[in-house]
Amino acid sequence: MRRAAISIMSNIAEGFESRSDKLFADFLGRARGSAGELRCQTYIAMDVEYINEDQAKEVFVLAEKCSRQISNFMWYLHNNPTHQFREDAAEYDTTLDDLTT
């Protein structure tokens, strides 16, 4: 369950940093798939009594909400092809000064 939850955020981040909107959409789809996987694993965890019903409901509701948000974002990106949400590469500070002090 932890891996699926981490995978949601990781796929969103990896897609955001990808080189194209098509790749971003692909990674968003993977993130949504991971949210579905988390919902499935929640049922399994409840069935084998790793978590109780209240805990399962809480996780399920949050995973379902996350899935809806990703779907809505995918819809937005598809229907607004002229969006601008990424920074230019020049805006990134690539120096290591802050890391070495």
What is the crossing angle of helices 21-47 and 2-16, to 10°? 170
- Contact between 26 and 37 (Cβ < 8 Å): no
Q: What is the pTM of this model?
A: 0.77
- The tens digit of pLDDT for each residue in 24-43 reads 999 999 999 999 999 999 99
- The tens digit of pLDDT for each residue in 48-76 reads 999 999 999 999 999 999 999 999 999 98
Q: Considering the domain 2-77 in this protein, what is its CATH number? A: 1.20.1440.60
